[in-house]
Every structure is written in C-alpha cells, then in structure tokens.
Amino acid sequence: MSKSIAGFSKLSKSKKIDWIVDTYFLNAENAQKIIKQYWNTNEKLQQLHDEFIENTITNYYLPLGVAPNFLINNKLYTIPMAIEESSVVAAASKAAKFWMDRGGFKTQVISTTKIGQVHFMYHGNVESLKAYFNHVKPKLIEDAQPITKNMEKRGGGILNIELRDKTSEIPGYFQLHASFETLDAMGANFINSCLEQFAKTFKSEALNFDAFTTEEKMIQVTMSILSNYVPECLVRAEVSCKVEDLSDSDAIDPEEFAEKFVQAVKIAEVEPYRAVTHNKGIMNGIDAVVLATGNDFRAIEACAHAYASRNGSYGSLSHAKIENGQFTFWIEMPLALGTVGGLTGLHPLVKLSLELLHHPSAKELMEIVAVAGLAQNFAALRSLTTTGIQQGHMKMHLMNILNQFEATLEEKEVLVKHFANHTISHSAVVKAIENLRQ
C-alpha cells in the first residue's frame, strides 16, 4: 500500500531505492535488480547522470540511431536520432537517400531572435506609464550590462525592449517584451537573468519617477520569464525537383504521386484532425535530433504547435506545390536551439552527436533539425499516398511482438519470411509463434 514519506530527497540513492521497492513492488528483489541493471558500470559517469536531475534512481535508455546520406546545402551529414518509435530512423534514412539523388535539402536561417517577458500589474494612468518606460529603458539596458557583457563581446545581447499594454485581456496587465540574440547558446539562463534585472530596475526606478502618483509608483511584478514561443527564430528547409524525377521503384506514376502528395499537404493545412497527426510525424524527426543533441524537446514541441496555430486555427507546418512542372516541398518553423551550455558539454552521447554533425553552430543545428522533420514528413506522406502507412510500421511491430515472446534468432528469421506474404497482427504473430514452437 502506498504511503507518504518525509525527507525523501535527503536519503541516499540506495535508501531511496529501498523505500520505493519495498513500498510499491510485490517482488522487491526483482524491482531492485531491474533498477540496478541500467546503472553505468563507470561510477564517475553514473554520478554525472545522477546529478542531471533530483531523486535519480537509475537511467532510462532510449535507442540512439543514425540516419545517413543527408545532403544539406551540398554537405553530407549522418544525423543522430534518439527515439523509441519504430520505423522513424528507417523512414528518415530512406527520405535522405531519395533526395540525395535529386539535389538534396536546401536550408536558410531566417532569424534567431528569442523572447523574454516581465509580466507586471499597473493600475494608474497609461500615458504616465509610457513616459516612465521611455525614461527608464536606457537604465534597464545599463543595469543588465554585467550580465550581457560577455554575450555582447560574441555579437549577441539585448536587441530591444517594448512596453506592451495587455489591459484589454486582464485589467492592469502590462509586459516588458524583450528580444535577444544568444548565438550558439539556447540562452535560457542568460535571458532569465536579464529579465529579473529588468524587473528589479523597473520597480526601483519607479519610486523616484516624479510623474507617478504614490499609488502608481507601486508597480507589482508578477513574474519574469523567457518565452518558449519564438516565432521569429525561424528556419526554412526545402526539397525540389522536376515532377518526372519523382519516379522510383516504390512510387506510382510521378504526376499522380505529386498531385496526391500536394493534396495530402493541403488537407493538413485546413483540417486540424489531420494536421495534428501530420505535424506529429514532423516532430518525430525533429524531437529525435533535438534529444540526441541535448536540447529541450518539450520547448520545441510547444513552440511548434503554437506556431501551427498562429493564424487562428491549427494547420500543417509543411507545405507543397507544383509549378511549371516543378515539385517543391518545404517547411518553415521556429527552432530555438543551442550547441553550447546545458547538457551539450556534459552528456557524453550529446557531445558524440554534435561531433558526428561536424560541431555545428546553433544556426547549422537549426537547419539540420528542420531537415530531419521535413524528411520524416516526406517519408510519411509518401507511404500514405502510395503503399499505405502500415507496411513499414507493421514490419517493426512484428519485431516488437517477437521480442515480447523472446523469439530466438532462428525463430525470427522464419517468422519474418512468413509475414513477408501474410498480414501482421498481434494474434496472427502469436499463433505463428505457437505453431512454430509446436
């Protein structure tokens, strides 16, 4: 039976595990064994992992695969992907090979601007607040100088600070809306430190602003925090070829394929039920690379879906067209990524992944990640509009079922051949295993 515990975080790792297995598991010895079998035998490396988060008991493994043959702006890449979903890496690799023979992927970083906000309440005269903001703005930037000095030396820093009136949505609600350039760092700590200094200066200087009444001087700061919505931190990736060059051994007639493909994208542009699944496929590719390179995939996900809704309804992140016999497929989306700071210098596999990608800058990583999303989307739509999505999925599903039943290599070989010509379902696979073992 579950029970509460006081001071859990102060317990040693072994004591935490003892309490968990004794409290929650019928077979405490087996639970203890499962937890410990994923520990790294290198004690120093395990301690590093233990200190990434609080209350660590073990490591949770995801497969780290690679997708080769990505030609991006005439440079070849093998892209690392950390993901548990079957067929994602295979699909990305297949799309990469398809487009390598047709000129590869072309990319462009449009902007790298990131956003942070100081949210505050003010119930006085709005014109007085505007006058105060214009007066204090240089001081906000000046007081943040100790924080921004090193970033400015590298070419980044504070780009602008605006006063935004949000009183039509919440009475008395205003923002200091700030934009930043953080170069190769994702920049969360830098931005949040700047914002907290803005808030401190904004409140203290108000006490000495003569145009304010006594009540107006009492500005109430609610919070200071970066935004993971970065609609101006944009990258574009695209592929293009003559419609007739879309033909290969797997595809239907190239003209029919191109038309069906464009139609499928148009459906995702206007139908939210389809768009969510469509964009989820894009994020299969994006999240896998973001995770492999030590970036925050939750922030990337939240931003992508907000961006997909920016026009008032949820739609596709990718687009396609046919013009003058030319097929073009592209994606334009926000990606706030970093290649320095955070896990990028700590996690050994993150460092390995970045080296595999030729030590990219943040801009180059934006391009690589966008390409992974576009490739994944192309592979999914190509399957959907030709053979159907299940053909590739069910091959991997077959292997998962076989592993559940601890099939031997010989059994797997026989059953993979059998299901090359038979429909794969859980019951059918179970029956085939039973028949084979009899």
How do the domains of the chain map onto residue ranges?
8-50, 65-109+234-388, 114-227, 392-437
pTM summary value = 0.88
Catalytic machinery residues: 85, 280, 296, 393
| Residue 92 neighbours by CB distance under 10 Å | 31
From the CA atom positions of the chain, what is the Rg in Å? Answer: 27
At 285, is the secondary structure helix, strand, or coil? helix
| Per-residue confidence (pLDDT) for residue 373, from 0 to 100 | 98
65-109+234-388: CATH topology: 3.90.770
Pairing of strands 173-181, 114-121: antiparallel
| Per-residue confidence (pLDDT) for residue 249, from 0 to 100 | 59
Instruction: Extract the residue ranges of the chain whose pLDDT is less than 50.
Output: none
CB 401 within 8 A of CB 429: yes
Question: Domain 114-227 - what CATH class?
Answer: alpha beta
**Rounded to whole angstroms, how far apart are CA atoms 75 and 371?**
13
**Rounded to whole angstroms, how far apart are CA atoms 143 and 197?**
7
DSSP 72: E
Strand order in the sheet with 157-165: 157-165, 173-181, 114-121, 220-227
CB 81 within 8 A of CB 64: yes
| Per-residue confidence (pLDDT) for residue 154, from 0 to 100 | 94
Q: Which residues, including other chains, have CB under 8 Å from residue 379's CB and lie 6 or more apart? A: 91, 92, 94, 95
| Per-residue confidence (pLDDT) for residue 421, from 0 to 100 | 77
Numbers of helices and strands, H then E, in the chain: 15, 10
At 438, is the secondary structure helix, strand, or coil? coil
DSSP 359: S
| Per-residue confidence (pLDDT) for residue 431, from 0 to 100 | 87
Run of H or E including 287: helix 272-292
Helices 348-356 and 272-292 pack at an angle, to 10 degrees, of 100
CB 322 within 8 A of CB 258: yes
**Rounded to whole angstroms, how far apart are CA atoms 362 and 112?**
9
